[in-house]
Amino acid sequence: MLIPVWYDSTVKTKVIIYSRPGCHLCEEAKEAMRAASCEGEYTLDEVNIESDPELLKCYKDDIPVITFNGVEAFRHRVNPEEFRRRILGSLI
């Protein structure tokens, strides 16, 4: 595989999961992300949508939502293999 000249191995994908307490789909999504076995390739922030009225209005019944560098990548369900493929693919 050719690596572009601009590739910087220290730059990691910024992953955000929008969730709320007690959400079983959110817990399943986080487990799928762990099962992807690529934790060292991204940074993770978890945002409780109940902490912001606008986020609650936007995502009320559509969680979890997972974004990669600000772009929605998953909604509701996460497949570990697809998560890993997308994370590793977003690095080059």
Is the CB of residue 7 less than 8 Å from the CB of residue 92? Answer: yes
pLDDT at 90 over 80: no
pLDDT tens track for 38-78: 999 999 999 999 999 999 999 999 999 999 999 999 999 99
Q: Which residues, at least 6 apart from 60, have a Cβ–Cβ distance to it below 8 Å?
A: 49
Q: What is the pTM of this model?
A: 0.84
3 state DSSP class of 17: strand
pLDDT at 34 over 90: yes
CATH superfamily membership of 13-90: Glutaredoxin (3.40.30.10)
- Rounded-to-integer distance, Cα 89 and Cα 71, Å: 14
What is the Cβ-side half-sphere exposure of residue 2, based on CA atoms within 13 angstroms?
A: 3
What is the H or E stretch that residue 86 is in? helix 80-90
* Residue ranges covered by each domain of the chain: 13-90
